[in-house]
Amino acid sequence: MDKKATSKSDSILDGLDIHRYGDWLTFTKRLEGLIAVGHLRKVTPLRAEPPNSGREWYVEQGNGDVYIYTPPDGDKGLPEWEKFDPFARPEPERPSRNVLELDLRDIPVGQMGRPQAVSLLTRLWILIGFGKVEAVDRPLPASPGEPAESWYRDLHTGIVYKLVEGDGENDSLWEPVPQHELHARIQ
């Protein structure tokens, strides 16, 4: 948030670090004061909220600015007061870091080094073990001197990916199997 206050609701934080208990108490008194004089009005959330998020939404009566207040919660974190733009595109969700909640589309395609390829193979074998991915036979076995190539089908999406393993810097490749290669396997 900009340090320069542009409205009474922006200035509610002036001189405060609401992560400190004493400042948070001052902040809540200021918030209650702005509500009491009709400067702020609590409203229904403008976007879907997770259940029991505890977040409160406010509209500044004079200019229509929207603010979200997240009260402190011992387990969930510190208080926050932030301006919200209801017309801004929502931030894309960050993918889960739990390997079992992901599918193969969440793995970035492209060139990678040997350490990343080994890490990817480990992840793929975990997903195979949990029944989320299956190893798929290539249409033709690799020729001598050709890099190792393995194929994997995401059982959720049905998309087949391949990992072409090199042994140096950025010479391994992870990508969806092109349609013409899939058709060669079927014939």
When pLDDT is cut at 50, 70 and 90, the band that residue 95 belongs to is low
Number of residues in the chain: 187
Taking the C-alpha atoms of residue 121 and residue 48, their distance in angstroms, rounded to an integer, is 37
Q: Which tokens sit at 20? A: 């400190």
Residues in Cβ contact with 26 at an 8 Å cutoff, skipping those fewer than 6 apart: 16
How many C-beta neighbours within 10 Å does residue 78 have? 13
Tokens of 86: 């209801």
Which pLDDT does position 73 carry in this prediction?
A: 73
Contact 67, 60 (CB under 8 A): yes
Q: What's the angle, vertex CA 67, arms to CA 9 and CA 69, rounded to 5?
A: 100
Distance from C-alpha of 63 to C-alpha of 168, rounded to nearest angstrom: 59
CB 65 within 8 Å of CB 11:
no
- pLDDT tens digits, one per residue of 32-84: 999 999 999 999 887 777 777 788 999 999 888 999 998 887 555 678 898 98
DSSP class of 73:
B
| pLDDT higher than 60, residue 138 | yes
Q: What is the pTM of this model?
A: 0.47
Beta 40-43 vs 66-70: how paired, if at all? unpaired
| Residue 83 tokens, joined | 């301006």
Per-residue pLDDT, 106: 80
